[in-house]
């Protein structure tokens, strides 16, 4: 597996080595020892989540605060998404910056999203199954977010039509209005 740091500090793109033949393919989707050797980060997965969404659905920009803050490894099992992460760690040299990446069943890319990042994704294919490995359980009391179209970030989501949002995602505040960012 090839691990490279994205444009954001401590956020990594993971590209597995895929072994394929006329029967199909096999790949090691994650290896903690290899990841640690390349990044110095030890990952302990405690929960796995999966979602299915239709084209145009945007889920984000989410994060957990306090002791519930999570790091995660995300990937697409079926379909294609535009994945976006924002560094919201005040002490980071990339604070307030975002990175986006196409994740798909075809490219099998994954992103390691560290604690202190907001995360979201837009479904580009007719539907997509999205898979998350997280290092701390989800805590509804500690959930937070930033509105996906905040002009501070000027994220080009690449869509002309209206995106489909949950009521919760429609009502996240602007980045400038939030005060519970990470140090």
Q: Using an 8 Å Cβ cutoff, are 121 and 58 in contact? A: yes
Catalytic residue flag (residue 179): no
Secondary structure (3-state) at 178: coil
> How far apart, in Å, are the Cα atoms of 180 and each of 115, 137, 172?
13, 19, 13
Catalytic residue among 62, 98, 99, 119: 62
Catalytic residue flag (residue 132): yes
What is the DSSP code (8-state) at residue 41? -
Any residues with CB less than 8 A from the CB of 121 and at least 6 apart, and which? 58, 59, 60, 74, 81, 82, 83, 84, 103, 130
Catalytic residue among 12, 98, 119, 132: 132
Q: Which residues are catalytic?
A: 62, 132
């Amino acid at each position: 597996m090839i691990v490279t740091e994205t444009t954001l500090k401590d956020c990594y793109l993971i590209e597995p080595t895929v072994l394929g033949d006329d029967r199909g393919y096999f790949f090691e989707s994650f290896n903690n020892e290899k990841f640690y050797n390349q990044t110095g980060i030890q990952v302990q997965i405690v929960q796995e989540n999966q979602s299915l969404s239709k084209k145009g659905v945007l889920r984000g920009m989410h994060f957990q605060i306090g002791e519930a803050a999570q790091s995660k490894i995300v990937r697409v099992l079926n379909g294609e998404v535009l994945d976006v992460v924002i560094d919201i760690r005040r002490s980071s040299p990339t604070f307030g910056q975002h990175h986006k990446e196409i994740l798909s069943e075809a490219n099998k890319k994954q992103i390691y999203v560290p604690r202190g990042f907001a995360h979201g994704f837009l479904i580009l294919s007719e539907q997509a199954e999205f898979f998350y490995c997280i290092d701390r359980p989800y805590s509804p009391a500690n959930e937070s977010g930033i509105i996906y179209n905040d002009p501070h970030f000027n994220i080009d989501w690449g869509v002309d039509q209206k995106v489909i949002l949950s009521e919760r995602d429609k009502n996240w505040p602007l980045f400038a209005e939030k005060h519970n960012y990470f140090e």
